[in-house]
Amino acid sequence: MALTIAVEAAPLETDFDGVVRVGKTRVTLDTVVTAFLEGATVEEIGAQYTSLELSDIYSAIGYYLKHKVEVDAYILERQLKSALIRQEVEQRFNPVGIRARLLARKKGRG
Protein backbone atom coordinates (compact mmCIF):
# COMPACT_ATOMS: atom_id res chain seq x y z
CA MET A 1 0.00 0.00 0.00
CA ALA A 2 1.44 3.35 -1.05
CA LEU A 3 1.33 6.22 1.37
CA THR A 4 -0.03 9.43 -0.08
CA ILE A 5 2.00 12.42 1.02
CA ALA A 6 0.12 15.69 0.86
CA VAL A 7 1.11 19.17 1.90
CA GLU A 8 -1.39 20.61 4.36
CA ALA A 9 -1.67 24.23 5.33
CA ALA A 10 -1.15 25.07 8.98
CA PRO A 11 -4.50 25.24 10.82
CA LEU A 12 -4.08 28.96 11.43
CA GLU A 13 -6.47 31.73 10.50
CA THR A 14 -6.11 35.47 10.94
CA ASP A 15 -9.29 37.16 12.14
CA PHE A 16 -10.60 40.65 11.36
CA ASP A 17 -8.42 42.22 14.07
CA GLY A 18 -5.24 40.51 12.85
CA VAL A 19 -5.22 37.91 15.63
CA VAL A 20 -4.02 34.46 14.55
CA ARG A 21 -6.30 31.68 15.80
CA VAL A 22 -5.68 27.93 15.85
CA GLY A 23 -8.05 25.62 13.99
CA LYS A 24 -11.69 26.65 13.92
CA THR A 25 -11.46 27.98 17.49
CA ARG A 26 -11.02 31.27 19.32
CA VAL A 27 -7.75 30.04 20.89
CA THR A 28 -4.88 32.22 19.74
CA LEU A 29 -1.53 31.10 18.36
CA ASP A 30 0.27 33.06 21.07
CA THR A 31 -1.71 31.20 23.75
CA VAL A 32 -0.61 27.82 22.37
CA VAL A 33 3.00 28.91 21.80
CA THR A 34 3.29 30.47 25.26
CA ALA A 35 1.97 27.29 26.90
CA PHE A 36 4.44 25.23 24.84
CA LEU A 37 7.36 27.51 25.80
CA GLU A 38 6.35 27.25 29.46
CA GLY A 39 6.79 23.49 29.21
CA ALA A 40 3.24 22.25 28.62
CA THR A 41 2.90 19.14 26.48
CA VAL A 42 0.52 19.02 23.54
CA GLU A 43 -1.79 16.82 25.59
CA GLU A 44 -1.76 19.31 28.49
CA ILE A 45 -2.56 22.16 26.11
CA GLY A 46 -5.39 20.08 24.65
CA ALA A 47 -6.74 19.35 28.13
CA GLN A 48 -6.73 23.05 28.98
CA TYR A 49 -8.23 24.16 25.65
CA THR A 50 -10.71 21.43 24.85
CA SER A 51 -11.96 23.11 21.68
CA LEU A 52 -8.58 22.41 20.06
CA GLU A 53 -7.79 19.17 18.26
CA LEU A 54 -4.45 17.59 19.16
CA SER A 55 -3.45 17.53 15.49
CA ASP A 56 -4.04 21.29 15.26
CA ILE A 57 -1.90 21.90 18.36
CA TYR A 58 0.93 19.79 16.92
CA SER A 59 0.64 21.66 13.61
CA ALA A 60 0.61 25.07 15.31
CA ILE A 61 3.72 24.20 17.33
CA GLY A 62 5.38 22.82 14.18
CA TYR A 63 4.58 26.07 12.41
CA TYR A 64 6.10 28.00 15.31
CA LEU A 65 9.28 25.91 15.24
CA LYS A 66 9.68 26.46 11.47
CA HIS A 67 8.84 30.19 11.64
CA LYS A 68 10.21 31.07 15.06
CA VAL A 69 11.53 34.54 14.18
CA GLU A 70 8.25 35.65 12.58
CA VAL A 71 6.04 34.16 15.30
CA ASP A 72 8.19 35.61 18.09
CA ALA A 73 7.93 39.05 16.42
CA TYR A 74 4.14 38.61 16.11
CA ILE A 75 3.84 37.64 19.80
CA LEU A 76 6.01 40.59 20.87
CA GLU A 77 3.86 42.97 18.80
CA ARG A 78 0.70 41.58 20.44
CA GLN A 79 2.24 41.98 23.91
CA LEU A 80 3.20 45.60 23.18
CA LYS A 81 -0.29 46.41 21.85
CA SER A 82 -1.83 44.75 24.90
CA ALA A 83 0.35 46.79 27.25
CA LEU A 84 -0.60 50.01 25.45
CA ILE A 85 -4.31 49.23 25.64
CA ARG A 86 -4.00 48.33 29.33
CA GLN A 87 -2.19 51.60 30.02
CA GLU A 88 -4.87 53.60 28.17
CA VAL A 89 -7.67 51.87 30.09
CA GLU A 90 -5.95 52.39 33.44
CA GLN A 91 -5.48 56.08 32.65
CA ARG A 92 -9.16 56.47 31.76
CA PHE A 93 -10.43 54.34 34.64
CA ASN A 94 -8.01 54.77 37.52
CA PRO A 95 -7.80 51.46 39.43
CA VAL A 96 -6.36 53.11 42.56
CA GLY A 97 -8.89 52.86 45.37
CA ILE A 98 -11.39 50.85 43.34
CA ARG A 99 -11.81 48.26 46.11
CA ALA A 100 -12.65 50.98 48.63
CA ARG A 101 -15.10 52.65 46.22
CA LEU A 102 -16.84 49.35 45.48
CA LEU A 103 -17.09 48.45 49.18
CA ALA A 104 -18.49 51.90 49.98
CA ARG A 105 -21.04 51.56 47.19
CA LYS A 106 -22.03 48.11 48.45
CA LYS A 107 -22.33 49.39 52.03
CA GLY A 108 -24.54 52.26 50.83
CA ARG A 109 -26.99 49.78 49.26
CA GLY A 110 -26.91 47.50 52.16
Confidence of residue 110 (pLDDT cuts 50, 70, 90): low
Residue 20, classified by CB atoms within 10 Å of its CB into exposed (0-12), middle (13-18) or buried (19+), is buried
Q: How far apart (Å, rounded) are the C-alpha atoms in residues 11 and 9?
A: 6
DSSP assignment string, 41-71: -HHHHHHHSTTS-HHHHHHHHHHHHHSHHHH
Domain ranges of the chain: 12-109
pLDDT at residue 96 in the model:
76
Work out the pLDDT band at 25, boundaries 50, 70, 90.
very high
Q: Which residues contact 54 (CB under 8 A, 6 or more apart)?
A: 42, 43, 46
* pLDDT tens digit sequence for 63-109: 999 999 999 999 999 999 999 999 998 888 877 788 888 888 888 87
Fold of 12-109: Arc Repressor Mutant, subunit A (1.10.10)
